[in-house]
Structure 1
């Protein structure tokens, strides 16, 4: 399954929009009046006011659509986003974050400035750029979709001689203090999105590079669920290749459960991918995964994560498929059966959710002999 396109992690698309919503969109002519004030040669205070106005527009869908239809405005905002002080680069980049959060606006953004991805990549990997985190957030939003993701791969490949673009990205993600003014948490979702591509997975799993070993500590990174989730999503996508290093089998004795439910689900999905083949199932069973999953299932408060855990347990304790069907990812499921399975999944999740709600509403048992209050 080396050529399979891995899915994008949920946590790779969960980027917060910035700015307040406008009650209604301004007409196109009004928006066009911003253009002179967004020029690089405009006064800094007028630039800042115009960018704030554009940022407010991105708080509503009509406002975002309005801006996306103004190619000259987009180019001006992109120029400001990568311009040095006193240009309002941070606010301009926040406008791009909100625009890029809408997949339908990716095409006009990239059409307005074909070098957008390369420019943002340069800012993101510049250890001195103060708004590198915001630039990474734009890349994380854009790279959720296949076409911009492929274009970002091309930009990484063309990043210059010496160290490859992907290696620089991984180094920036894994090096504490790479940029003293930007934490670069959103490089996690960027890498997760890039790991949809077989070429990226080949790079990550190259045993001579030891990339997975460098990423592994970040699955427990306490300061950012964005970074942690991006790394977990990356490792999950790499599980399509079924050859993760042995390091993933061991955890320290003081390991705590992942607090983010979405990330817990991605971790379960990663193990599920590893169990797609008979050798993978044997390896997971031999590591005692069933006992860990059984304890997780009894503790898990989130219905959809609990259902995912149940499915993985069923794979581990169930009978092996008949000859010719050992690779579960290659089994062809008829469309009607797939629909039935999806419906069953929804019903199981709803049932699990109802049971949790009933438990939450049930009164706590009183101690024997205690008087009711």
Structure 2
């Protein structure tokens, strides 16, 4: 790594007044450092470099600005750099200001950095606090996300994972679930957004996180929001159903076209199942899901599902649907405390079930290896 004299010399080149050819070589070198763990660790320990990169995002040279943003994206993908970036470089106010500028050229990189920085709960709180205190507000973030073509120079897809990360926090969920704001209703159509799995997965993750707050389940499942069809439709395929089964489904899931495709990303399918599972934590939620005939969609999904862990999640969901109601006092599954010995046993059973499903899948494919799905919230690098 760099000696002290070399460090000082390199820092001297990372200024707005440095000659362009020298500055370009310096930013290119720093970008190269972010490609290794040692390089990222070095930069994270030297806040002057982080501040210099942030300063040069205002440089007249587009190439220099691009190098700086790429370096910041790579650094933000490394959790060890989160605290220095947020606290020492104080980059959040600048990022949020640029994000809200519809003419800004590097808004996609800004979205990626904010998404990465909001993964961990501690820095997620810092991001949320900055959003609320820098004259932006979560309402503006939602508006930017939901406004098609807000920035003609960037797609802003990574605002989806940002929203998903922010809803780790109860205060962010309260905003999304505010019954007077209609935020949830604006997000629901994006569960079928074809233009980006990142945006789609971010919204599904946001909805899944909001479903942890069971006090809102009745509202979410009721006519004001009617969330269930938006969670089931991506899981539905082109299979033919009987007339009786069809009539029991929500209207949006009836008579689907022969070329209807299921959600292609297994991680998104898993999150959709998790959201439905959370909605079924209460007796009223289970009744609502049963009454909408969700079973037939989940049954066909389970027959089709190629990924063992997603198939297992689907199977557990079906078991809850077809099982008898819990005894009195145990109706809310999110409030039931499981003894440690029972939890260990259930974990062991889950692992055995996972292995069984994998063996079945390998046999059905003639021993082939299953493909690994990429997370919709995968980090930038």
**CA separation of 1:288/1:29 partners in 2, compared to 1, >3 Å: closer, same or farther?**
farther
1:181 to 143, 149, 153: 153
**Structure with larger RCO (C-alpha < 8 A, sep 6+):** 1
Normalised by the size of structure 1, how large is the TM-score? 0.85
CA–CA distance in 2 between the matches of 1:119 and 1:84? 16
CA–CA distance in 2 between the matches of 1:338 and 1:84? 59
Could you say what the CA RMSD is over the residues aligned between the two structures, in angstroms? 1.9
SS at match of 1:240: coil
CA–CA distance in 2 between the matches of 1:294 and 1:283? 17
Shift of the alpha carbon at 1:336? 2.8
Shift of the alpha carbon at 1:189? 0.4
Indicate if the aligned counterparts of 2:44 and 2:80 stay in contact, CA closer than 8 A. no
Aligned partner of 1:108 in structure 2 is 84
Aligned partner of 1:44 in structure 2 is 20
Aligned partner of 2:129 in structure 1 is 154
CA–CA distance in 1 between the matches of 2:329 and 2:5? 64
Aligned partner of 2:73 in structure 1 is 97
Structure 1 unaligned segments of length 5 or more: list them: 1-24, 364-373
Shift of the alpha carbon at 1:38? 1.2
Q: Does 1:313 align with 2:318?
A: yes
Aligned partner of 1:270 in structure 2 is 275
Aligned partner of 2:237 in structure 1 is none
1:200 to 140, 150, 172: 172
Indicate if the aligned counterparts of 2:185 and 2:225 stay in contact, CA closer than 8 A. no
Aligned partner of 2:345 in structure 1 is 340
**CA separation of 1:50/1:336 partners in 2, compared to 1, >3 Å: closer, same or farther?**
farther
Runs of 4+ more than 6 Å apart: none
83-92 vs 303-312, which moves further:
83-92
Normalised by the size of structure 2, how large is the TM-score? 0.83
Structure 2 unaligned segments of length 5 or more: list them: 234-251, 369-381
Q: Does 1:62 align with 2:67?
A: no
**CA separation of 1:27/1:294 partners in 2, compared to 1, >3 Å: closer, same or farther?**
farther
1:14-56 C-alpha deviation (Å, 9 max, x unpaired): xxxxxxxxxxx55565444321121121122322222221121
CA–CA distance in 2 between the matches of 1:341 and 1:82? 54
